[in-house]
Structure 1
């Protein structure tokens, strides 16, 4: 029984790694109240992984209410969000803690 359980766990971990490896991935850097790049193009109809790195000295809140994305990162922290397939269009993300300067436009084509 323990061997069977170990096999199921291995298959589950392997499958999740293969699934994650197939995601279209983009990187965003937050620093001094700005998100960089300010504009990203991604494929529509495909899951998207956004890797976020806060290289600043203050916390950030990476957010898009329409897509129900909200991620708080401490200074010098990294994380990611995965978006379900997007319809073609424009999606605005902000750093809620720096709303005037911390903006990112995600364009799904």
Structure 2
């Protein structure tokens, strides 16, 4: 009887944690960004302050590009025709530039945090 009660409580605990985690993940903002013709589209994205954000970056070019930001402390190589998921934040209000390391003169953008 004691083992069964413990098992039921354990299952309820796991269920409540999984429901809580899925609710947190569902509330996280998702921003989509494209690399096309060695440019970021859109070049500026706005995200809420103090919130973790999921960036989905699609590289529509046939060549690789590296999403790079010193201010965001992120770098990720994205092969041509592929996508990458990059989490940023939570961040205080401000502007955070990013660029494509393989095409730094054209692939530039910034995250505006409000």
Bigger-Rg structure (1/2): 2
Corresponding residue for residue 89 of structure 1: 94
Corresponding residue for residue 50 of structure 1: 55
Greater helix fraction, Structure 1 or Structure 2? 2
Aligned-partner Cα distance in 2 for 1:13–1:53: 29
Q: Is 1:35 the equivalent of 2:56?
A: no
Aligned-partner Cα distance in 2 for 1:105–1:66: 10
The runs of 4+ residues in structure 1 deviating greater than 4 Å are 6-16
What is the CA deviation profile of residues 9-64 of structure 1, one whole-angstrom value per residue up to 9, with x for unaligned ones? 87776554433221111110001211110111111111111110001110010011
Of residues 58, 69, 76 in structure 2, which corresponds to 1:71? 76
Compute the TM-score of the two structures, normalised by the length of structure 1: 0.83
Structure 2: 5+ residue runs without aligned partners?
A: 1-10
Corresponding residue for residue 113 of structure 2: 108
CA RMSD of aligned residues (A): 2.2
Compute the TM-score of the two structures, normalised by the length of structure 2: 0.80
